[in-house]
Amino acid sequence: MAEADFSATGVRIERWPRSLTRAGEVLIKDGRLALLTSYGRVIDTAPVRAVRASRPWFAGRDDAMVATLNGTRYRLTMGQRTPEPDEAAGSAVAGRLMEAVRRAGGDSS
């Protein structure tokens, strides 16, 4: 079994206007990006080339990003697993995710 190109746990995944999970996972493996719940159930998946990822202009936080999979926009907030969310660590993870999407041929800005 191949190792994942990118994996982040403790991700808050929201589809406006509601939260889908507060401790989800973002996984890039075999050319596909998957959003998973804390129980491992797939929320959505798409080829990385079809994914659009960017920092939201309205968030005011560096640990948040918006990803569009299959025409559905999701807000992803990294670093949510600790009792006090760590925005600096979340920002680093969000940057790594943006770079992983860019390397895999997706649209990230």
One DSSP character per residue, 34-92 reads: EEE-TTS-EEEEEEGGG-EEE--TTT--TTEEEEEETTEEEEEE---SSSS--HHHHHH
Q: In this predicted structure, what is the pLDDT of residue 75?
A: 93
pLDDT band at 86 (very low <50, low <70, confident <90, very high): low
Q: Is residue 79's pLDDT more than 80?
A: no
Report the alpha-carbon distance of residue 78 to residue 88 in Å, rounded: 10
Query: Which residues on adjacent β-strands are paired with residue 42?
Result: 36
